Chain A
Amino acid sequence: MPEYKGMVQPVRATPDEMRKIFAEPVPDEQKPEKAIEYLDEIRKKFRSFVVAMESCVKCGQCAENCHTYLGTRDPNNIPANRAELIRKIYRRYFTLEGRWFGKLVGAEDISLDVIEQWYSYFYQCSQCRRCAHVCPFGIDTCEVTFIGRQLLHWLGITPKLHAAVGGAMEKVGNHTGLPKPGIVDTLEFMSEEIMDEFGVEVEFPVDKPDSDIIYIPSSADFLLNPYTLMGAGMFFTYIGANWCIPSNVTEAGNFGLLFDQYYTQRGNVNRLLNAAHELNVKKIVWGECGHGWRAAKMYVPSLADRPVRWPLTHVHDEAAELIRRGELKLNPENNPEPVTLHDPCNYVRACGLNDNMRTIMNAVTVDFREMNPHGVDNFCCGGGSGILFDDPEMYQRRIQLSQKKADQVRATGVGKDGNGILCAPCSICKAQLYPMVEEHELGVHVHGLIDLLAKALVWK
């Protein structure tokens, strides 16, 4: 039962699982001093970290705006306090006031207890950046948890879920461990399903050289989100694109962003650039994944080891553009159910997709109801940053973390007759919301946005 002195923690990876992703666990007795050493390196490298450490005035505005605090009422889930878990160490060892005035300024000595506290709370943050959005200064607690998790990773503390995903990324270039034969078989199945259900002929080319674009789907689509995968195929076929899916990096996500931005995140960036180069494409089009889109759009330029000559856009960007130009013939009556949109955090607060999602939504549905708040003020689904743990304690936490979202959905009334659609165009959101809509009894089905677009396409 993963718990440390009353704090829930995710199950952690074994040393072997860590070694698969080139992390060597540090023995417990060395962890405190190593933590300070790594923290020193970080603070000398990342301005975002230092400014976040030194600019917070403890106004407390972030508290009632964070879904983790609202759902758990745990004081350490207040973003300012979550940052304080590492700030108290930073102050103690790297500032004059911390060294001289200790507890008065909230400084504390490092210990294994503090490190375990980091593990518990940095993995309850879903890195949704709502705190940064509401903070008067824009202090990004997500950046603090990025760095906190990176430190923990270097100490050898990483959840089993994340390390296993890292291992799968290392092996096959996607999160679910999907090898090429499985990819090809599933895509053939998708073609059959599309013919059965929609009566159109869609082929999913894999590794086709001299394609104009590569499409990067989320690997979870291959297991859990068939309509998103079908939808993408239908969209690209409808517009006559010369496209393919690269089998070596069939992953819109990049869990490296969430726990190891050095080795793991870079790995898939390199795979992506290699694939784009080998297949000689002109553009890279991204599939439905929140953190993955942020990792691609914002981090590829800074993580790449070569000039990046392929523009990256999101499939929503492309679809919205074609809708604006009137080039897609759509019948919104094909989506008659009441629909509400869950804005994936990374889409709206990190990638600017708010308007494009709504352009598509308004064109393909007849009964679209906004949640409150929505758009850039939206609340996280509770599963962000891969905290999709299913051991009993953390699973209960997930139910609490999605409480705010459940209340929002219920308030829209889309689930009243049991046929509502909760559109959540992100794989982690889908993975979180599939069980959570049952736990909270919301009466809705979870779908992606491309799913709805594909259903609305008029082919003749």
Chain B
Amino acid sequence: MKLLIGQILPYITVTLFTLGVLYRLGRWVGPRIVHNITLSPWPKTNTEVAIRVGSEAFLFRNLFRFDKALWFGAIMMHLALLNIIGGHVVGFGFLGEQFALIPGLGISPELSTEMSDMLGTVFGILLFVALLYLLFRRLTLTPVKLVSKPSDNLWLIYLIVLVGVGNIMRLFHDFGVGYEQVRDYIVALALFQPVTHMELLNNGFFLTHYLLVQILLIVFPYSKLMHLFGMFAERWIVNRVYKDPAPGIPNIDVAAARRAGIGIPSDDAAEEGV
């Protein structure tokens, strides 16, 4: 089990994930944008496009406008997720001392580690709660129930389990792993060194969490999780700059036409002295 999940599978995971995503994105890039199906009102400059797409992708603008409850659940979930993923990368990379590197704030490495711990715990719980809320919506609200397929519910349950295991590792010290252990492990994997002797692979919670993550990454390109890229692909199609042709009917002089009384029956025009 340790060998499979800890030594062999990671390489398979990275390969399948990378090739899978490239393959699926390739199927999007090949077909063209045949007609202009932009939505109006359209942005006038590329900066406006960036602001619009950014506000949709990172602030969930449309959700906010039309369904505040869903917006709240969705943004809490995604923000927590972003912070956790970022925290995994930065936290393990800098052993929790990343905040001490920010100049001028005077944060000691010890304080930074404590902050990392705390942020990890908080966002882990937030993510868990947000996922529960989204699952609750999917099971109880009629419109959402009507559009859901089994896989939609399964994904939420899967993520809840995955995040739950992660939270257990965070909340119960005995079940957790240290930053240094993970960093050493990842570095060894990257350098193709043997890892099966490492201590953290004896931790059942770690193995579970790690396996669930890897399965998620393998399945990622073949699931709706591709909406990560879909957001930008779709917005690239429907939110674009469009230049209207200038208005103005050629060769007209409205004032002159009115002075000349165009349209006014000829006897009236004669009266006006034209």
Contacts and interface: CB of A to CB of B under 8 A. Distances in A.
Given A63-B143, A318-B249, A322-B254, A58 B222 contact: no
B260 interface: yes
Interface string B76-110: 00000000000000000000000000000000000
Contact of A59 (B70, B226, B257): B70
A282 interface: yes
A47 interface: yes
B231 A55 contact: yes
A298 B149 contact: no
Interface string A316-356: 01101110000111000000000000000000111111100
A239 B249 contact: yes
Interface string B44-70: 000000000000100010110111001
B56 A138 contact: yes
Interface string B220-242: 00111011001101110111001
Contact of B39 (A46, A132, A313): A132
A42 to B, nearest CB: 9
17 contacts: A49-B31, A60-B146, A78-B146, A80-B147, A95-B222, A105-B150, A138-B239, A200-B264, A237-B262, A238-B257, A240-B252, A298-B35, A302-B34, A313-B244, A327-B254, A350-B37, A460-B272
Contacts of A303: 35
B273 interface: no
B41 A134 contact: no
The 8 closest A-B pairs by CB, nearest first: A55-B230, A240-B257, A63-B143, A311-B245, A106-B149, A60-B144, A352-B40, A321-B247
Given A45-B32, A134-B62, A240-B254, A54 B39 contact: no
A58 B146 CA distance: 9
Given A48-B37, A56-B224, A352-B42, A43 B31 contact: yes
Given A57-B224, A97-B223, A242 B251 contact: yes
A328 B88 CA distance: 65
Given A137-B231, A237-B263, A350-B40, A283 B31 contact: no
B254 A313 contact: no
B34 A58 contact: no
B265 A201 contact: yes
Interface string B119-144: 00000000000000000000001011
Given A60-B147, A376-B41, 8 more contacts: A46-B34, A47-B33, A58-B224, A136-B56, A201-B263, A212-B250, A299-B35, A351-B40
Interface string A133-159: 111111110110000000000000000
Interface of A: 43-52, 54-61, 63-65, 69, 75, 78, 80-81, 84, 95-97, 101, 103-106, 129, 132-140, 142-143, 195, 199-202, 212-213, 234, 237-242, 261, 282-283, 285, 298-299, 301-303, 311-313, 317-318, 320-322, 327-329, 348-354, 376, 459-460
Contact of A348 (B27, B40, B266): B40
A89 to B, nearest CB: 14
A57 B227 contact: yes
Interface of B: 24, 27-42, 56, 60, 62-63, 65-67, 70, 74, 141, 143-144, 146-152, 154, 222-224, 226-227, 230-231, 233-235, 237-239, 242, 244-258, 260-266, 268, 272
B252 A241 contact: yes
A138 B151 contact: no
Contacts of B244: 313, 317, 352
**Which of A135, A137, A261, A282 has the most chain B CB within a 10 Å cutoff?**
A137
Given A60-B144, A212-B251, A240-B257, A234 B263 contact: yes
Contact of A63 (B146, B233, B248, B257): B146
Contacts of B227: 55-57, 137
Given A97-B222, A105-B149, A137 B256 contact: no
Contacts of B152: 57-58
Contacts of B147: 58, 60, 63, 78, 80-81, 84
A240 B151 CA distance: 64
Contacts of B38: 298, 350
A303 B261 CA distance: 42
A2 B61 CA distance: 42
A129 B24 CA distance: 26
A69 B150 CA distance: 22
Contacts of A48: 33-34, 37, 237
